[in-house]
């Protein structure tokens, strides 16, 4: 992931988040890439305010799952 982040930065692709697909496969089958961080943001209304707050929606991770 660090190497992929460095390649994205070297190509001036800032505002990107590193992604890795096929992590349950051997590392030679992993596919690294990047997505714009704006694609991960969700607008949530702030109580008592007209404006929304941008947040990255969190998901629960099953640490007893196959990946772990």
**Does pLDDT of 3 surpass 70?**
yes
SS (H, E, C) the chain: CHHHHHHHHHCCCCCEEEEEECCCCCHHHCEEEEEEHHHHEEEEECCCCCCEEEEECCCCCCCCCCCC
Domain coverage including residue 52: 2-56
Which pLDDT tens digit goes with each residue over 7-50?
999 999 999 999 999 988 999 999 999 999 988 888 888 777 77
In a domain? residue 67: no
Half-sphere exposure of 27 (CA within 13 A, CB side): 1
pLDDT of residue 26: 94
The count of structural domains within the chain is 1
In a domain? residue 38: yes
Strand partners, 35: 17
In a domain? residue 44: yes
């Amino acid at each position: 992931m660090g190497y992929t982040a460095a390649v994205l930065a070297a190509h001036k692709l800032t505002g990107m988040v590193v992604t890795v697909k096929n992590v349950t496969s051997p590392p030679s089958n992993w596919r690294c890439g990047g997505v714009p961080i704006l694609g991960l943001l969700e607008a949530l209304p702030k109580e008592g305010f007209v404006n929304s707050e941008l947040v990255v929606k969190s998901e629960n991770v099953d640490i007893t799952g196959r990946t772990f």
